[in-house]
Chains A and B, each alone.
Chain A
Amino acid sequence: MPQIEVSALTKTFRVPEREGGLWASVRSVVRRKYKEVRAVEQVSFTVEKGEIVGFLGPNGAGKTTTLKMMSGLLHPTSGACSVMGHFPWRRESTYLRRISMLMGQRSQLSWDLPAMDSFLVHAAVYDLPKRAFQETLDELVTLLDIRDILKKQVRTLSLGERMKCEICVSLLHRPDVLFLDEPTIGVDITMQARIRDFIADYNRRYGATLILTSHYMADVTALCKRIIVIDHGRILFDGLLGDLSARLAPFKVIKIDLDHEADGYDFAALGDVLQRQERKIMLRVPKKSAPAVTDRLLRDLSVLDLTIEDPPIEDVISLAFGRKADEPQPAGVSK
């Protein structure tokens, strides 16, 4: 039985809107106009225990709204969601004790106190036995390498240090389901990698289920086998990361290194020229025609080196999001 079941989940926000300018402003006092914005529309998926699922999508796609509904912060407009047998928006304490939500842009720590004080409050709120709390704390402090900063006021910590403390406080009660909303936002590349390693390790150790949203593709590719691509509140793709390009962007990228320049050669007739620098050419061609194009390049030109690759995941995602909302969705896309 899946640990998370989401069915036709929809969230509509009613937001005021008006034209710009003073007159419109005055008019809006008397007659306010509202617009219904569908942040999430008929989203359905299931997640098994221990899975790490990445939510991908541009700003305003509906990723965070979906996460907030799953964590119980938001009530859905319609649809159903069950997490470990609980309806999140009932906000039962038995449910809240088993989950954690780490929001990269929101702090759970008291800024004016050392992080340790927030950890102690957390232990009390989650009613952690003293011994279990101390053991988990020691383990997390060691893994995250934060022993030296526990006594420092949170507002004096660097962003990376603070994020590590945020992760620590989120995991002190060993949640079974962890919602991570942009967990590496703003931190440097080295720290991003360390946070990713730590999250993967937590998943392995405790079999926790992780739902992750991130703008950093590296977070997703390093942590998630399965991804859900969401845009305009709808799911565009739900499947293995490896299948993403095949479904959303069935292209190959052919890179060639020539012996000498081929000035008059019409590369555009073979595919999209992504890059052309003297003797180095990069072409994007439909997957089906990749063998024929390769054959022709090898016959027509003096090639020193040739590689055929899947397009970078970033390109696949931008191709998918570049598709207009009213365009038909690719085959195999769940609705």
Chain B
Amino acid sequence: MRVIVRSFAAFLRAAVGTMLQYRGEIILWAIWGLINPAVLYAIWSAAAESNVDQTLAGFSRGQFAAYYFCIMIIGHFTTAWDAYELGYLIRSGSLSSQLLRPILPIWSALAANMAYKITTLAFVGPMWALFFWIVRPTFDAAPWQIVLGIVATMLAGLLNFLLGYVVALVSFWSPKLDAVGEAYFGIGMVFGGRFAPLAALPGILYQAAYILPFRWMYAFPAELMMGKIKTPAEALSGLTIQLVWLLGIVFVFRFGWKAAVRHYSAVSG
């Protein structure tokens, strides 16, 4: 464990160093992360205001603002790109060097992921403040909901990273499968509540959202932080479900990784 902590700290330092070499590119990615929820807020709040009761799926304009403000922040802390990246590492042969190290490559990927979130914080933080000031969200959250919402966001970040990595293991069997990353992102948009709050989804999609893990990555922490999840019991059961998903994905990763590395032979040449 000590070696993992030491290695992770070294990976993190190196990844921050790399990110700082490409400030422009990193800022553009961060802006992309802001545009998406800002546009969706604009669409859904306009739709809500056009209704007679000025709500849509139980959300007023101010609540849409709060929801997408939370989604903007959660989106930043949960972003992960390994569903795309791993296939590239396999195709380019770069994974070989990582596989020869006495530590799993997932640790350096996690460090790179965290480095992005840390290095861009100084840029996206003021953007969030600006968005907040412009849209004036309606928050109905007590301090305990904010605190648990932060915990849920951290778990959501781990969940999305790990699930993306597990999905990316498919690349060991078919490394030119960029569609996997696209599908993962698209499904997460709809069933995670990023495209629209889950309450706005039609019947079967709404039910599917509760079975799939994506809700626990986006909608749940957002609803918790904006005060839509009212009771501590509801919040704790949500956190428990997040933990269960995490453990399940770690379990799948352990077996999936072994099988994937065994198959690596067929494509590494």
Q: Which chain A residues have a beta carbon within 8 Å of chain B's beta carbons? A: 11, 13-14, 64, 68, 71-75, 89, 91, 93-94, 96-97, 99-101, 103, 105-108, 110, 112-113, 117-118, 120-121, 123-127, 153
Contacts and interface: CB of A to CB of B under 8 A. Distances in A.
Contacts of A125: 3, 7, 10, 101-103
A121 B11 contact: yes
Nearest to A98: B102
Interface in B87-139: 93-94, 96-97, 99-103
Contact of B102 (A64, A89, A96): A96
The DSSP consensus for interface residues of chain B is: helix
Interface residues of B, number: 29
B264 A73 contact: yes
B6 to A, nearest CB: 5
Given A13-B266, A106-B94, A118-B14, A72 B7 contact: no
Nearest to A155: B21
B177 to A, nearest CB: 15
B167 to A, nearest CB: 22
A221 B39 CA distance: 67
B51 interface: no
Given A97-B102, A107-B97, A112-B18, A75 B265 contact: yes
B77 to A, nearest CB: 24
A9 to B, nearest CB: 13
Interface string B222-253: 00000000000000000000000000000000
Contacts of B18: 110, 112-113
A106 B96 contact: yes
Contact of A121 (B14, B21, B266): B14
A107 B17 CA distance: 18
12 contacts: A72-B100, A74-B264, A103-B96, A106-B94, A106-B97, A107-B94, A110-B14, A117-B13, A117-B14, A120-B10, A121-B14, A125-B7
Contacts of B261: 91
Given A113-B17, A124-B9, A125-B7, A93 B268 contact: no
A300 B232 CA distance: 109
Contacts of B266: 13-14
Given A91-B261, A93-B103, A127 B97 contact: no
B262 interface: yes
A330 B7 CA distance: 51
Contacts of A13: 265-266
Given A11-B265, A73-B100, A121-B11, 19 more contacts: A14-B266, A68-B96, A71-B100, A73-B264, A74-B265, A89-B262, A91-B99, A91-B261, A96-B102, A106-B97, A108-B97, A110-B18, A112-B17, A124-B3, A124-B6, A124-B7, A124-B9, A124-B10, A153-B21
